[in-house]
Structure 1
C-alpha cells in the first residue's frame, strides 16, 4: 500500500494517457493493422534530430517541475525508424543519447526559502543516457489520404513505448584550492563509491544496475514540408521505475567509517564544501544567508560550509531523526525534440507477421 501511495499519481497519469492512445488507435485494432486493406497506407521514414533534456528526481523535485524547464537544462540527440502500418498507427524504433544534470547549488537558488536544505546538501551529478525504445505512434486525428502521398499537412500524435537505457551517474570531486585558485576535479563515476552505503550492511540498499527499463510517453505534432520531408515537434516524459539515475536514494547518510576511501566519503556528503564542486563558485555568502535565517537561526558571525555544513547535514549516531539524503520517488527525465524525417516510401517491405 505504501508503494502504491508513493507512485499513485505518476501511474494514474501514465494509465490515463495510455487509455487515450488506445481509444485513438481503436480503428486500427478493429480493422487489423496487418490486414491487406491497410497495405495502401503503409510507408516508412527515417528521422534525425535533437533537443533539450530535463531531469526530475532527488535534486529536482516533481512538485516544482517548472524550474527544471529552465534550470540545469542539457541536450539530446536522436535517430529513429518508423513504419506506418495503418492510417492511425505506426511502429517506431529509436536510439536517443541524452545528457541530464542535477545540481543543488544552482537549483536551490531559484527559491532559497523553499530549497534551503538543498543548498546545504550541495549534491550534484550528470548522467549520459543511451536509450533504445520500441514505441507505438498513434495519430490523434483521422488520416484520410493513402500512403506517403496522402499524409496530412498537420497531424498531432501520441507515443507510448517500452525500452531500456544504459547510464552511469558521475560527479566532480571537491575543488582544489591548494595553488591559490579554484581547480575543478574530473568527472568520476559514482556507483563504485557506494554513496548511499549500498551493500555495506543489511539495512542499506543493494548496488544498482547500469542498465534499466524505460517507458516513453510523449505528445507531438508532425508537419508535412513536401512529398519527401516532414518536420516533427515532440515532448515526452521517460518514466523509469528506478531511483538512482542521480545516485541519490531515500536513505539516511551512511556512517563514514563504513566507506573505504577518502573519495567515497567526499562524494557521500558534500555539505562541508566551501566551493561548488561542479562550477567552482563560492558557497560561503549564500550559506551564511541560509544558516542565519529560519529555521536554523545561527548567530551572526562568519559561518562557512566547512565549519558548520556537516553539523546540519550528514550522519549522526545520536540523532533522533537522522538526515535523509534523498527521497524514494522514481527518477525520470523529459525530452523535447525537433526532428526532420525523410520518407522512404512503400517500397521498403517489412517481414510478414505470422
Structure 2
C-alpha cells in the first residue's frame, strides 16, 4: 500500500511539473491570476485507535472540524500552486470505536485508550486541472475537477483524558518508555498531502470548491500509540501512571488482559498514522491589473 501511494504521488507531481513547463509559455501573464479562499472542513484520522487497524477504517462520530486559509496562483492553463494554513483536531477512543463482542476488536476495547490532537498545518501543493482554461479568469469553465499533491509541515500535540477528566499532554510522559531510551517523537512533523476536488464558478469573482485530501505522515504517534507498554514503571515520567498497565482501564471490572501488562503490546497497526481533510471552500479571484502598453 505504501509503495502504491508513493508511486501515485510521484506520478502526480511529475505530471504537474511536465505540464507546467509545456504550457507556461502558452499562457501570458495577462491570463494569470491569484485567488484567496477560506475553507470549512471535517477532519478524521487513521491509526491505532480506530474501529479496525487499517487505513480504510475510521469512526464517523470521531469527526472534528478544521478551518483553513488558502492563497493560489494560476500560471498555466491547467497548473496552479497553492499555499495553505489550517487548524483542526483529530480524536480517537477505544471505548467507543472498538466492539467488545468482536474478537478482533476486543484487544482495543480492553486497551481503553483515548486521545485528541490539535494539528496546525502549513502546506504547498501543485494543483492540476483536468479541464484546461486558456482564457482569462472571466472565461474560466463553470465546473473543473482537479487533483493535487505537495508537501506540508505540521505541529501536533496528542493529549489523553486522565481519571480526573482532564486532558494531559502525552508526549512528555514517555508512555512507551521513551524516557529511558531517549527516543522521543517530535511534535513537528512533515506529511505528503494529496487528493482531489471540484470547483464550481458562482460568478465572475467567486468559486465554490469541494475537496478531499489525505495526509501521509511519517510518524506513528498522532495518537501516542505505536509499540509496547513500558516494561518498568521507573522509566515513566512522574504522573504517567494512568496510562500504564491496568491504570488505563479506570478500574472497570473485566477489562484486564495481557494487552495492558508491563512490556505488553500497546499498538498494533505497525503503520504510520494518516489524517484526512474533507470540506467546502469559497475562493475569491483577485482580478489582475493589466498595464496598458505605452506608445511613443
TM-score (norm 1): 0.75
1:347, distance to aligned residue in structure 2 (A): 2.6
Residue 223 of structure 2 aligns to a residue whose secondary structure is: coil
Residue 313 of structure 1 aligns to a residue whose secondary structure is: helix
1:348, distance to aligned residue in structure 2 (A): 9.3
Classify 1:21/1:206 alpha carbon distance in 2 versus 1 (closer, same or farther; 3 Å).
closer
Q: Is the 8 A contact 2:43 2:275 kept in 1?
A: yes
Q: Is the 8 A contact 1:234 1:336 kept in 2?
A: yes
* Paired residue total: 289
Q: 1:27 aligns with which of 4, 16, 19?
A: 19
> Which structure carries more strand by proportion?
2
Q: 1:151-230, aligned counterparts within 5 Å? A: 151-175=140-164, 185-201=165-181, 206-230=183-207
TM-score (norm 2): 0.89
Q: Give the structure 2 partner of residue 266 of structure 1.
A: 242
Q: 1:135 aligns with which of 125, 131, 148?
A: 125
Q: Is the 8 A contact 1:103 1:123 kept in 2?
A: yes
Partners of 2:195 and 2:237 in 1: CA distance: 43
Q: Is the 8 A contact 2:87 2:121 kept in 1?
A: yes
Partners of 2:279 and 2:180 in 1: CA distance: 41
> Which structure carries more helix by proportion?
1
Runs of at least 4 residues off by over 4 Å: 61-67
Residue 41 of structure 1 aligns to a residue whose secondary structure is: coil
Q: Give the structure 1 partner of residue 285 of structure 2.
A: 343
Which range moves more in the overlay, 110-119 or 38-47? Answer: 110-119
Q: 1:1-354, aligned counterparts within 5 Å? A: 9-20=1-12, 22-23=14-15, 26-31=18-23, 33=24, 35=25, 37-60=27-50, 64-68=54-58, 70-109=60-99, 112-144=102-134, 146-175=135-164, 185-201=165-181, 206-261=183-238, 263-269=239-245, 270-274=247-251, 304-305=253-254, 309=256, 311-316=257-262, 323-327=264-268, 328-347=270-289
Residue 106 of structure 2 aligns to a residue whose secondary structure is: helix
Partners of 1:153 and 1:113 in 2: CA distance: 51
Partners of 1:92 and 1:119 in 2: CA distance: 41
Partners of 1:17 and 1:233 in 2: CA distance: 20
Partners of 2:12 and 2:131 in 1: CA distance: 12
Per-residue displacement from partner, 1:126-158 (whole Å, max 9, x unpaired)? 0000000111111022324x1211211011111
1:69, distance to aligned residue in structure 2 (A): 5.3
Per-residue displacement from partner, 1:148-172 (whole Å, max 9, x unpaired)? 1121101111111112011111111
1:329, distance to aligned residue in structure 2 (A): 1.2
In the alignment, structure 1 segments of 5+ residues that lack a partner are 1-8, 176-184, 275-283, 285-303, 317-321, 350-354
Partners of 1:216 and 1:240 in 2: CA distance: 9
In the alignment, structure 2 segments of 5+ residues that lack a partner are 292-296
Structure index of larger Rg? 1
Per-residue displacement from partner, 1:298-328 (whole Å, max 9, x unpaired)? xxxxxx14xx61x422334xxxxx5211143
